[in-house]
Amino acid sequence: MNWRVIQDEPADGPTNMAADVALLAHAHQGEATLRFYTWDGPWVSLGRFQNPQDDLLDPSLVPWVMRPTGGKAVLHGHDLTVTLACPHTDLGVKQVYRMLVHPLVKGLRLAGQLAALGEETAFVGKGTTADCFRHASANDVVDPSTGRKLVGCALKVTRTTALAQCSIPLSMPLIDPARLYRQPHVAAPLTIASKDLIAAITLSL
């Protein structure tokens, strides 16, 4: 598959989500795109089945936006956000996820970070928190030596296309997650430069 690679300037939540939705439309036309972007400050993106009144302690504290993908709430502004959108043919959700998450796992390893899917480690947790980074599932990307969740990934799959929206924290949050969630995660960002990670993921396609 030939991938088009985009690196966008920091933007607000609605602008970033609109750009990702447009990539899904391009995927319907047969185009595969890898997009890297950041945010213009602290934002929360909520999974399409979440509700800000239920899942945030104070929905007015930080601006929030709804994602087209599922999953739990992600705090942005200190992360590299990676979107992959592509066509697929007769693949199940698990197969699609593995296909899209593979370059992230490979890229992290190439950049010097141990990385594996949760199901390949002993660090799979369960929980009902609204915070994406609070628990690691079998499908999450984690450090196999510590269980630290490295990437928050959310997926949308149609009959012919797929969209993955992924967050990789690279510095400390701009606001304490404990002010946002009832069961917050403890921040543990990577120590990889954004430009190095972008290069490694791009090489891993």
Report the CATH number at residue 68: 3.30.930.10
Cα–Cα nearest to 170, from 196, 203, 139, 142? 196
Cα–Cα nearest to 167, from 47, 83, 63, 43? 83
Determine the structural domain holding residue 48 and report its residue range. Answer: 3-203
Asked whether residue 204 carries a pLDDT value surpassing 90, the answer given is: yes
Q: What is the pLDDT of residue 135?
A: 86
DSSP 96-154: HHHHHHHHHHHHHHHTT---EEGGGSS-------SBGGG---TTSEE-TTT--EEEEEE
Write the pLDDT tens digit of every residue in 26-63.
999 999 999 999 999 999 999 999 999 999 999 999 99
Work out the pLDDT band at 3, boundaries 50, 70, 90: very high
pLDDT (average), residues 86-114: 94
Q: Is the pTM of this model over 0.75?
A: yes
Q: What is the pLDDT of residue 89?
A: 87
Write the pLDDT tens digit of every residue in 121-173.
988 877 779 999 998 888 899 999 999 999 999 999 999 999 999 999 999 99
Asked whether residue 187 carries a pLDDT value surpassing 80, the answer given is: yes
Q: Torsions phi, psi of 3, nearest 5?
A: -105, 135
When divided into structural domains, the chain yields a total of: 1
**Do 71 and 154 form a contact (C-beta atoms < 8 A)?**
yes
Question: What percentage of the chain has pLDDT greater than the value 70?
Answer: 100
Residue 166 a catalytic site member:
no
Question: What percentage of the chain has pLDDT greater than the value 90?
Answer: 88
pLDDT (average), residues 81-108: 94
pLDDT (average), residues 95-114: 96
